[in-house]
Amino acid sequence: MASRNQNRPPRSPSTVSPNSLYSIGIIIFFPQWRRLKKDGIDEVPLDKRRRIGAGRMVGPASTGRARQAFAVVNNKPDGTVTNDMGSAEGSDCAPVEFTKEKVEALLNEKSKGKKFDHKAKLEQMTEYIKRLKLCIKWFQQVEENQVIEKEKLQSAMESVEKKCTDTEVAMRDKVEELNLIISNLKTTIFSLEERVTKEELDKLDAIESHRKENEARVAGEKLQASLSAELEKVRQEKSAAEQKAASFEDMYKRAQEYNVSLQQYNSKLQKDNETHSESLKRVEMEKLTIVENLSNLRCHNKALQDQLTSLKASQDELIKQKELLSNELRCLRGELQQVRDDRDRQVTHVQDLTAEVLKFKESTGKSCVELDNLTIKTNALEEICSSQSEQIQILQQQLASANEKLKTADLSASTTRTEFEEQKRIVCELQDRLADAEFQLSEGEKLRKKLHNTILELKGNIRVFCRVRPLLPDDGVGTEAALISYPTSTEALGRGIDLMQSGQKFPFTFDKVFSHEASQQDVFVEISQLVQSALDGYKVCIFAYGQTGSGKTYTMMGKPETSEQKGLIPRSLEQIFQTSQSLEVQGWKYKMQASMLEIYNETIRDLLSTSRSNGLDMSRAENGVPGKQYTIKHDANGNTHVSDLTVVDVCSIKEISSLLQQAAQSRSVGRTQMNEQSSRSHFVFTLRISGVNESTEQQVQGVLNLIDLAGSERLSRSGATGDRLKETQAINKSLSSLADVIFALAKKEDHVPFRNSKLTYLLQPCLGGDSKTLMFVNISPDPSSLGESLCSLRFAARVNACEIGIPRRQTTVRPTDSRLSYG
Ligand SMILES: Nc1ncnc2c1ncn2[C@@H]1O[C@H](COP(=O)(O)OP(=O)(O)OP(=O)(O)O)[C@@H](O)[C@H]1O
């Protein structure tokens, strides 16, 4: 505010600008303005002030003054303001200035003077009228000014109005334009609204779908969570199963190791036992000799003792004798003494006598002779005495040595007895240990069987192995590598096979894939455990499936005459016989029965029938004369019986080999364009195994079915006609029945079409759940067989995805008086 006043020229308090006058008018006629003025002009917006007019009241000081003073001002052409305040006479020239108070005072003025002084009153009135006139004039001037101002304002208004009209026109144009825009916008809005509605709908739809998606997502999440939980559970189960399998395998390995160590220990024990038996025998021999010696010694001892007693007796006697002799000797000595005394006396006497003799020599010569005789007698007695004491001494020595010997004999007898007791104890201990080892061995064997079967169960009871045969010179052009490859990734190594057809790769995974390089032994190693299961009381079924010429017969039978090319059948039988023999030490006794048949055109043929080998059976059947009617029956134990089928007891691999040869000769081999040696029938080899453990009274009944299926082939490809066409149709029918059975079992369908073909009905117990089944899918690398190979692999992959029951072991404990029964 101050800054505004600073730039303004100073004004006299008595004067106001023309604009101020206008302001006064405004103040009079616009009470609102008064109020505004009262509140302060600066509070009026600037544009409003401009609209009101040119009057400018600035600052609170000037506002105050304007309120108090009414000034009549003349607007001079140069714009200067003159004061009209003054007398009425000077109204033409002198500006007169009215203030509010003055006007009010003028209007409120009352006549002065005496009531009836009309002259004075007239003068007063004249003066008053003059002043009123002045005032009116002032007002008129003000009015004029106002008119001018009004005109100005009107012109300004007009110009403003014109401007307004122009503006209005422009505005109208603008409005039209805007209307147009608005209509456009409305259309746009409409379309936008439509779009919005549509989008809203879409949005609603989207929200709905979003909601649904959310729900689905939530459900999915829940499902995912449950699946994850399940997956986790399955993973845990898997890891647990893997751990279990690993631990089983580990246990199995350990059991095997333990078994081996037990066997070693057993053999060691047996050796030890043998050595101990030998040493025992030796000891017993020694014992016998010692006992003999002892008895000899005892006899000797007895003899010695007898001798001793007799010696003692003789000694006593001798002592007595000695005493007697001593007495005698003493007597003799006494006598000798006496004799000596006598002699002395005699000597004296002799001397006396000698003297006397001498004196009386001639008269007495007789006493000397007597003396000599006595002397001789004395000497002889002394000799006897000394020899007897020598004898006594010798006898005493002999007695001492005999006593010594007796003592040593007693000592050695007691040591021998202790040794004998010790040996007896060792033998007992060894026998106990042997019994323990045998028990552990049989327990280990039981555990091994259990673990082995658990491992097989974990692997699944229907497994599929794939085998690719090498390229043969007769095969079409191309290399195997170009069509068949084997993935090398860790998870598919040894289990995967990729087939290329028309640039497309078809990957397959099986339990095991054998490339063309795999030998017969490599293949057998993988199935040997399964074969072992048959000995443990399981039903085992191994069959080879594949197109004609893909190597089924080579895999199953091979070339039995060469050891390297022997197939699974001879190798399995060798293993069975070897293992059954090795189990004999554990008390197992096995009985085997073999039968071989073929199914040709849905007819069973006994390959071991003697009439058949003579050609009778076959020729009769082929000529329409009914041959033997082989009917298939299953008993409650799941054993299969084919009526009239030749079943041969076999005890050695040699017997089986000759039977296999017989069967091979009998097998019907047709000739097709596909393979000159093509088998047109299904070959079924069955070995029934019955085992009984004499020590544990355990019984097992296993079955081993080894099947070489007839070649699968499409009719178009085989080019067969007539009989061969019939054969091919029968083969395909039975193979598709086999597939139907496997898939029905896998789907756990109520009805499994076992009876649709002879093959499936025959194999019912082996396919029906409690057996262990292995399928070989044989593949030919021949490029022209690619389609067939793909069909075979697809079928095998479907079979591999199947899960059929849990294999059951057929084992019982033998009733006391039962005998082995054969199914
Ligand atoms: N792994 C292999 N190694 C060497 N030769 C093989 C192998 N597999 C098959 N063969 C040979 O391929 C030929 C056809 O094999 P095989 O007779 O076994 O076929 P197949 O499938 O039994 O035919 P079919 O269904 O007509 O009986 C034979 O000459 C056989 O010796």
Write out the two tokens for 177: 């334009």
H or E element that contains 773: strand 771-779
Residue type, 544: A
pLDDT band at 533; cut points 50, 70, 90: confident
Q: Is residue 522 scored above 80 in pLDDT?
A: yes
**How distant, in Å, are the alpha carbons of 208, 647, 773 from that of 592?**
73, 10, 20
Ligand 1 atom at minimal distance to the Cα of residue 548: 25
Range in 211-220, 287-296, 625-634, 659-668 with the lowest mean pLDDT? 287-296
- 551 alpha carbon – ligand 1 mean position (Å): 3
Query: Looking at residue 461, what DSSP letter applies?
Result: S
Q: Which of 553, 667, 778, 785 to mutate to test the pocket of ligand 1 (most atoms within 8 A of CB)?
A: 553
Q: Is residue 723 scored above 50 in pLDDT?
A: yes
| Residue whose CA lies nearest to ligand 1 atom number 7 | 469
| Residue whose CA lies nearest to ligand 1 atom number 11 | 551
Range in 117-126, 520-529, 800-809 with the lowest mean pLDDT? 800-809
Distance separating alpha carbons of residues 685 and 662, to the nearest angstrom: 12
pLDDT band at 172; cut points 50, 70, 90: confident
pLDDT band at 262; cut points 50, 70, 90: low
Q: Most confidently modeled of 28-32, 73-77, 485-489?
A: 485-489
pLDDT tens column, 94-144: 556 677 777 788 778 776 666 677 777 788 788 888 888 888 888 777 778
* Tokens 């009026």, residue located: 44
Of 735 and 572, the structure prediction assigns the larger pLDDT to: 572
Q: Which of 465, 466, 467, 469 to mutate to test the pocket of ligand 1 (most atoms within 8 A of CB)?
A: 469
3 state SS of 471: coil
**In the chain, pLDDT over 70 holds for what percent of residues?**
65
Distance separating alpha carbons of residues 554 and 472, to the nearest angstrom: 13
Selection from 604, 467, 452, 653 nearest residue 540 by Cα: 452
- 574 alpha carbon – ligand 1 mean position (Å): 22
3 state SS of 536: coil
pLDDT tens column, 641-652: 898 899 999 998
Residues 6 or more apart whose Cβ sits within 8 Å of residue 141: 72, 74, 84
Ligand 1 atom at minimal distance to the Cα of residue 520: 1
pLDDT tens column, 282-307: 766 766 776 676 667 667 667 766 76
For 519, other C-beta atoms within 10 Å of its C-beta total: 11
Q: Is residue 519 scored above 80 in pLDDT?
A: yes
- Rounded to 5, what percent of the chain is helix, strand, coil? 65, 15, 25
Q: Which of 471, 484, 548, 554 to mutate to test the pocket of ligand 1 (most atoms within 8 A of CB)?
A: 554
Distance separating alpha carbons of residues 480 and 487, to the nearest angstrom: 14
Q: Is 548 in the pocket of ligand 1 (CB under 6 A)?
A: yes
Of 511 and 286, the structure prediction assigns the larger pLDDT to: 511
Q: Is 207 in the pocket of ligand 1 (CB under 6 A)?
A: no
- 214 alpha carbon – ligand 1 mean position (Å): 59
Q: Is 550 in the pocket of ligand 1 (CB under 6 A)?
A: yes
Domain ranges in the chain are 2-175, 176-439, 460-813
pLDDT band at 689; cut points 50, 70, 90: very high
Residue type, 575: Q
Confidence at residue 513, expressed as pLDDT on a 0 to 100 scale: 95
Q: Is 566 in the pocket of ligand 1 (CB under 6 A)?
A: no
Q: Is 470 in the pocket of ligand 1 (CB under 6 A)?
A: yes
Is residue 169 exposed (0-12), middle (13-18) or buried (19+ Cβ within 10 Å)? exposed
Q: Is 472 in the pocket of ligand 1 (CB under 6 A)?
A: yes
Q: Is 549 in the pocket of ligand 1 (CB under 6 A)?
A: yes
| Residue whose CA lies nearest to ligand 1 atom number 8 | 551
Q: Is 681 in the pocket of ligand 1 (CB under 6 A)?
A: no
Write out the two tokens for 659: 């039977």
pLDDT band at 555; cut points 50, 70, 90: very high
Q: Is 469 in the pocket of ligand 1 (CB under 6 A)?
A: yes
Confidence at residue 726, expressed as pLDDT on a 0 to 100 scale: 73
What is the mean predicted confidence (pLDDT) over 294-321? 69
* Tokens 């089944």, residue located: 773
Confidence at residue 79, expressed as pLDDT on a 0 to 100 scale: 37
For every residue of 40-98, which 3-state class applies, written as one string?
CHHHCCHHHHHHHCCCCCCHHHHHHHHHHCCCCEEECCCCCEEEECCCCHHHCCCCECC
Q: Is 678 in the pocket of ligand 1 (CB under 6 A)?
A: yes
What top-level class would CATH report for the domain 176-439? mainly alpha
Same topology for domains 176-439 and 460-813, yes or no?
A: no
Of 801 and 520, the structure prediction assigns the larger pLDDT to: 520
Q: Please say whether the beta carbons of 752 and 760 come within 8 A.
A: no
What is the mean predicted confidence (pLDDT) over 173-195? 80
Ligand 1 atom at minimal distance to the Cα of residue 467: 1
Ligand 1 atom at minimal distance to the Cα of residue 711: 25
Ligand 1 atom at minimal distance to the Cα of residue 554: 18
- 656 alpha carbon – ligand 1 mean position (Å): 22
What is the mean predicted confidence (pLDDT) over 424-445? 80
pLDDT tens column, 61-71: 333 333 333 44
Q: Is residue 535 scored above 60 in pLDDT?
A: yes
Confidence at residue 205, expressed as pLDDT on a 0 to 100 scale: 81
What residues form the annotated binding site? Answer: 546-553
Which CATH architecture is the domain 460-813 placed in? Answer: 3-Layer(aba) Sandwich (3.40)
Report the chain's mean pLDDT, rounded to a whole number. 73
Ligand 1 atom at minimal distance to the Cα of residue 778: 21
Q: Is 520 in the pocket of ligand 1 (CB under 6 A)?
A: no
Residues 6 or more apart whose Cβ sits within 8 Å of residue 496: 486, 487, 489, 507, 508, 509, 513
Q: Long-range contacts made by residues 389-398, C-beta under 8 angstroms, separation at least 24?
A: 389/322, 391/318, 392/315, 392/318, 392/319, 392/322, 395/311, 395/314, 395/315, 395/318, 396/315, 398/311
Of 588 and 482, the structure prediction assigns the larger pLDDT to: 588
